[in-house]
Amino acid sequence: MWDFEFTLEVMPDLLEGLWITVQATVMGYLIALALGLAIAMVRRVPYAGGVVHAVMEFIRTTPLLVQLVFVFLVAPSTVSGMTIGVVVLGVHYSAYTAEVYRSGIEGVAKGQWEAARALSLPARRTWGAIVLPQAIRKVIPALGNYLIAMFKDTPLLFAIGVAELLTQAQRLGAANFRVVEMYTLVGFLFLIVSIPSAILIRRLERRYAAV
Amino acid sequence: MPPSETPLHEGPQGVEGQPLIVFDQVVKRFGDLTVLDHLDFQVDPGERVTLIGPSGSGKTTILRLLMTLEKVTEGHIWVDGEPFSHMPRGSGLAPASESYLRAKRRRVGMVFQQFNLFPNMTVRQNITEAPIHVLGTPKDEANQRASDLLDLVGLGEKIDAHPTQLSGGQQQRVAIARALAMQPEILLLDEVTSALDPELVAGVLDVLREIAETTDITMLCVTHEMGFARDVSHRVLMFDQGQIAEEGHPDQIFGDPREERTKSFLRSVLDNGD
Ligand SMILES: Nc1ncnc2c1ncn2[C@@H]1O[C@H](COP(=O)(O)OP(=O)(O)O)[C@@H](O)[C@H]1O
Ligand SMILES: [Mg+2]
């Protein structure tokens, strides 16, 4: 039988875990957004672009869990698990967001670059005022999907001892012999965050797909 | 591949009575395809030249070379007595670097067949972007000039519109205003009415006629609008297979063409109803 009293009892701890999950996701996502963009731009530079591409291929083809544990083991013990988690999540996902940005940049018509050139615009303006605004607008929905994907991957931080939602649930479930209930609650809490986010992203998609 | 260093040609000097643009034995190849084959021609300051010729004869390539969107394979381009495709190095010439080209290309403006307005900007921003960020024109002054230019092209009331809200003809008129905002000495027009619905062509050509009459801007114009070419140009160059097949005054080229290639080209254009 479902025990509501127990649910209420563990809820504060679970919400605390959820809060950490959300924080890790948001911070990791900000890293992925910024780093991915930088990577997408560097990839257009002859030589350096090839090197960056190879590193990103490597990151994409190895599991996030392995990357998390590896960095956790080699990092100095003064660096917190949360920091490692956020950075590894961010860097891992930047390999994906970079591809998204790249497709957006390639989708900008050649004539836009040529018009910018014909007006003698400096690279800073060509990128900042013309290419990126058009490219990013087109890829906002795809970038949004990675926010949800990242949120769903954040429980992996469990492996390096970050007190996120899954870690909390595991601890409370084991202590009270109510593991199934705990995991049901975890799933429920994830849904509470994911569903509104997904709806929001669909809205963005519709809004930006218009033009 | 251009040679890394070639002897300095006696380039035309930028003085009164000298040509503004010189193509000196210009070759342009794309892979195995030779598009321009040792091309020589000159354009005087303030001259309006129309380039005609069959599709694929290299007209667009000539304009793109002048806009520095392409690089010459061999030969040299000079503007106002200064090397344009190359830059001085030691006693010779080397292929121009990007920073050299950046300084040079300000003198040239181009209007494209497909308009190429920036869709993420308003009409005003399209026109003021380069004056503000390239010439350093103060914002107020750039805005004032944008609205003057829009009046010139008959679109004063569209200053806050987005390009997507405009017809093709209106977009092309904005693109003309945008190019003029940089006050180029040389204006390149590449089939600027070919992408337009027939009823919108006249409006754009009227704007260009007005510019031709009221300014001394040097124009190179690729067009199939023979009536327009006859009205505004001082000289017509007929291209075929990357070379000039015939050149002359528009009345002569259109009224009494000498070359068989020119005759058959003009016939084909008339047959197409342009
Ligand atoms: N970037 C390019 N790569 C390969 N071939 C090109 C390129 N640009 C133009 N060409 C070719 O060069 C020839 C001349 O093109 P163009 O100058 O556009 O001719 P026109 O404007 O007279 O129709 C055409 O055969 C065209 O296919
Ligand atoms: Mg052409």
Q: Is A123 on the interface with B (CB under 8 A)?
A: no
What does the pLDDT read at residue A51? 93
User: Which B positions 85-104 lie with beta carbon below 8 A of chain A?
Assistant: 102
- Give domain status of residue A5, yes or no: no
Q: Give the distance from residue A115's alpha carbon to the nearest chain B alpha carbon, in angstroms.
A: 6
* Closest residue in A to B108 (Cα–Cα): A118
What does the pLDDT read at residue B14? 44
- Give domain status of residue A6, yes or no: no
What does the pLDDT read at residue A31? 97
Give me the mean pLDDT over the B85-100 stretch.
Answer: 87
Element (H, E) at B40: strand B33-43
Please answer whether residues B156 and B150 qualify as being in contact, where contact means their C-beta atoms are separated by less than 8 angstroms. yes
Across the interface, of A118, A134, A137, the residue whose CB is closest to B67 is: A118
Region of poorest pLDDT, from A51-65, A194-208, B110-124: A194-208
pLDDT digits (tens, 9 = 90+) for A26-70: 999 999 999 999 999 999 888 989 999 999 999 999 999 999 999
Q: Is B133 on the interface with A (CB under 8 A)?
A: yes
Extended strands (E) in A12-112: none
Residue A76 sits in which domain range? 11-208
Side chain identity at residue B252, one-letter code: Q
- Give domain status of residue A1, yes or no: no
Residues with CB under 6 A from ligand 1: B 30, 33, 35, 53, 55-61
What does the pLDDT read at residue A28? 96
- Give domain status of residue A148, yes or no: yes
Q: Give the distance from residue B252's alpha carbon to the nearest chain A alpha carbon, in angstroms.
A: 33
- Give domain status of residue A2, yes or no: no
Provide the CATH number for the domain around residue A59. Answer: 1.10.3720.10
Q: Is B124 on the interface with A (CB under 8 A)?
A: no
Chain A CB contacts of B106 under 8 Å are 120
Region of poorest pLDDT, from A102-111, A157-166, B17-26, B136-145: A157-166
Q: Is B134 on the interface with A (CB under 8 A)?
A: yes
- Give domain status of residue A4, yes or no: no
What does the pLDDT read at residue B16? 61
pTM higher than 0.90 = no
**Number of structural domains found in chain A:** 1
What does the pLDDT read at residue A8? 84
Note the helical H segments in chain B.
59-66, 98-104, 123-130, 139-152, 168-181, 198-214, 226-232, 250-255, 260-271
Q: Which of B154, B85, B166 is nearest to B119 (CA)?
A: B166
Q: Give the distance from residue B260's alpha carbon to the nearest chain A alpha carbon, in angstroms.
A: 36
The domains located in chain B, with CATH, are 7-271 (3.40.50.300)
pLDDT digits (tens, 9 = 90+) for B136-158: 999 999 999 999 999 999 999 99
User: Best mutation site among B39, B60, B190, B244 for ligand 1, i.e. most ligand atoms within 8 A of its Cβ?
Assistant: B60
What does the pLDDT read at residue B190? 96
Kindly determine whether residue B106 and residue A120, on different chains, have CB atoms separated by under 8 Å.
yes
pLDDT digits (tens, 9 = 90+) for A138-159: 898 889 889 989 988 988 888 8
- Rounded to two decimals, the ipTM of the complex is 0.89
CA gap B97, B35 in Å, rounded: 23
Kindly determine whether residue B120 and residue A121, on different chains, have CB atoms separated by under 8 Å.
no
pLDDT band at B273 (very low <50, low <70, confident <90, very high): low
What does the pLDDT read at residue B253? 95
